[in-house]
Structure 1
Amino acid sequence: MAKSTDSNVTNGDGSAKRGLFNRKPKANKGPSRLKQIGEVFQMTRRQDPSAVWLMVLAFLVVVGISTGVGALFQNWVTGLIIGIMLGLLAATFILSRRAERAAFAQIEGQAGAAGAALGTLRRGWIVEQQPVAANPRTQDFVFRAVGRAGVVLVTEGPLSRVRSLADGERKRMARILPNVPIHVIHAGREEGQTPIGKIAGAMRKLKPTLTKVEVNAVSKRLASLGSKLPIPKGVDPYKARPDRRAMRGR
């Protein structure tokens, strides 16, 4: 007699066995790496058409140099193979850099763009997920990050309005952190402001003054203060956050 494949078969103690037809469905896999690269490439090409030609040029130059070096050693085939691999690497590097610029170009001018720029920081920085100060009427924001350079406040909005907002937040923190450097970076395109695509680079150039232990202590101290952020309804400052994986070209 054939064995039953009914999913309602029970064990000796009356508990139900896991049958053939009641197995947990496999979780849907995310997009493949090639598909992700393709999406990044299409996004970059729309925002920056010249990126395609730069990638092709970099690939051909690297392949040509490698093949020429191989020919000097009477082994141009090996030089060609190595050149193709290095050429693809060079093209991918250019794609990642241009993709980051294209992603910033897409979100520039949107609420939360400065906070999205902080989200691209690498290790060593503790970034506050929400603005630490805001003007609900004008939708100007102040974002905060803590690193070895101290506390960095990044403003978003016209310089004439956000300067007073940042000064108020800086004075509030200076009272509880008298020996910690507090820097202010104004994000934007006006004179005296830093484009959002260059914020992370500007922060990395700041001189480190704190140890890793002190960074964690400062972050916890600031977190204990809480937030009195008056964000208006319907405003999501992080809605404009770009895909970090896309901005790294991965």
Structure 2
Amino acid sequence: MSSQSTAPAKRRWYHNIADAYRVTQASFPWMKWALIGLFVVIFGGALAWGIASGHWLYIPFLGLLLALLAMMILLSMYTRRASYMQIEGQPGASAAVMQQIKGWNMEQEPVGMNPRTQDMVFRAVGRPGVVLVIEGPVSRTKRIVGDEERKLRRILPNVDIHKLYVGNGEGQVKLGKLESAMRKLPKKLTKQEVAAVVKRLSSLGAMKLPIPKGIDPYKARPDRRGMRGR
């Protein structure tokens, strides 16, 4: 007998919306009522206007489309925020966020780490230059950040190096605002210069960091299915 492999069922667009709602509802329990209220206000208003004006079919139909669009916009605004809230505080959470940002070349492993405290330094290259994203308090991570910065200064003396500390303490950027913080950095390099910087950094080779057993810097990942429903 010849066995035929069963192809996985294709995911429909409404599956992604359902995933987005599930992720968002877990962090924002009021989302259900906000969506219902938004729909009732917009569609109800359009329905009343349509009946009063005599256009009882045309205007309510437009109101229905507008209500659904408004619901999607509201859901998309909170889906990514909810995804980041669910991984906040986990080792490697900042790397998971950085992977979602387009236009950056990011190292797949942390370039610096303290095995005892699990402080990590991740590196990305983009048009603003080199960005070091640090998980851990500013005072406690000075050594590993300083080591990486000195190494970069030797091979990239004319490239800007930015440091972003992720956390909820003083001088730190909250995980949910890391993407906007990176996007706000002033762009100094062309795309060709970015490629040259990446090539020069790759010449350093990969350094095996002493990552403790049971610690996966990329274990913290946002719900990708939910985020596709944006």
**Same fold, TM-score > 0.5, yes or no:** yes
2:224 maps to 1:240: no
**Residue pairs, 1:153-168, within 5 angstroms:** 153-168=132-147
> Does residue 1:211 correspond to 2:175, yes or no?
no
Task: Structure 1: state its 5+ residue gaps.
Answer: 1-20
What is residue 76 of structure 2 aligned with on the other side?
96
Distance 2:159 2:178 in 1: 20
Q: Distance in 2 between matches of 1:74 and 1:125?
A: 54
Q: What is the TM-score of this pair, normalised by structure 2? A: 0.89
Contact kept in structure 2, 1:68 and 1:79, CA below 8 Å? no
Structure 2 unaligned blocks of 5 or more: none
- The match for 1:143 is 122
| Deviation, structure 1 residue 203 | 0.6
Q: What secondary structure sits across from 2:140 in the alignment? A: helix
Aligned residues: 229
Rounded Cα–Cα distance in structure 1 between residues aligned with 2:143 and 2:180: 25
The change in CA–CA distance for 1:102 and 1:175 in structure 2 (over 3 A counts) is same
Give 2:113's aligned residue: 134
1:171 aligned to 150, 153, 158, which one? 150
Runs (4+) off by over 6 Å = none
Task: Name the TM-score, length of structure 1 as normaliser.
Answer: 0.82
Report the 3-state secondary structure (helix = DSSP H, G, I; strand = E; otherwise coil) of the residue aligned with 1:169.
Answer: helix
Larger radius of gyration: 1
Q: Percent identity?
A: 48
Residue of structure 1 in register with 2:88 after alignment: 108
Q: RMSD in angstroms over aligned alpha carbons?
A: 2.2
Alpha-carbon distance between aligned partners in 1 of 2:153 and 2:92, rounded to the nearest angstrom: 25
Deviations 1:84-137 (A, max 9, x none): 122212211211221212111111111111111111212x11122211111111
Q: Which moved more, 1:111-120 or 1:51-60?
A: 51-60
Q: Partner of 2:98 in structure 1?
A: 118
Amino acid at match of 1:149: P
Give the SS at the match of 1:155.
Answer: strand
- Check 1:152–1:72 CA distance in 2 against 1; reply closer, same or farther (3 A cut): farther
